[in-house]
């Protein structure tokens, strides 16, 4: 047996059903749609989630809470992450991204106070926690808020 002699097993491939080609074909007149009803009409299929007139699941389950569409997502950076960056007097979003502290630049950056910072640096971010701001200023640095 050669590779060009290989093929599907007998009965594995069925010919396409050709509907609407006359009564002699066995698929004529109503073209396999039946006489009446929703399925016999053009455009008679309903969308996903339609349950035959029964109240759909997405409308049966309870709705709770509120989603604020104006919410700003901040990427959180701790002081211990800033202390790993050496040789920079000013630490901003671009430097954090280049150093690999941030994976992506989101809506904004918030500096949190977990960890310590030993040297005086100017940190530029969109938001600061109170603890982070106090620790930066205690080390002789500056916390600059930049607009979004």
Q: Tens digit of pLDDT for each residue in 118-142?
A: 899 999 999 999 999 999 999 999 9
Do 67 and 101 form a contact (C-beta atoms < 8 A)?
A: no
pLDDT of the residue at 10: 92
Average pLDDT of every residue of the chain: 91
CATH 1.20.1260.10 corresponds to the domain 74-145: no
Q: Are 76 and 110 in contact (CB under 8 A)?
A: yes
Tokens at 70, concatenated: 């104006």
Cβ burial, residue 5 (10 Å; 0-12/13-18/19+): exposed
For residue 14, name the pLDDT band (cuts at 50, 70, 90). very high
> How many Å apart are CA 115 and CA 136, to the nearest integer?
11
Confidence (pTM): 0.57
Query: What is the model's pLDDT at position 105?
Result: 77
The C-alpha R_g of the chain, in whole angstroms, comes to 33
Query: Looking at the predicted structure, is the pLDDT value of residue 107 above 80?
Result: no
Average pLDDT over residues 18-46: 91
Residue 104 pLDDT: 82
Query: What residues does each domain of the chain span?
Result: 74-145
For position 88, what pLDDT does the model report? 85
The answer to whether 28 and 21 have CB atoms below 8 angstroms apart is yes
């Amino acid at each position: 047996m050669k590779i060009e002699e290989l093929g599907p097993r007998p009965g594995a491939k069925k010919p396409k059903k050709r509907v609407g080609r006359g009564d002699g074909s066995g698929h004529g007149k109503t073209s396999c749609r039946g006489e009446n009803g929703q399925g016999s009409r053009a455009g008679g299929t309903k969308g996903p989630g339609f349950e035959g007139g029964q109240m759909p699941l997405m409308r049966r389950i309870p709705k709770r809470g509120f989603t604020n569409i104006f919410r700003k997502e901040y990427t959180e950076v701790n002081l211990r992450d800033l202390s790993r960056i050496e040789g920079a007097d000013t630490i901003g979003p671009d430097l954090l991204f280049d150093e690999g502290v941030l994976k992506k630049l989101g809506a904004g950056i918030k500096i949190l106070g977990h960890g310590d910072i030993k040297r005086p640096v100017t940190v530029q971010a969109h938001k600061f926690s109170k603890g982070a701001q106090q620790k930066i200023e205690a080390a002789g640095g500056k916390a600059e808020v930049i607009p979004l």
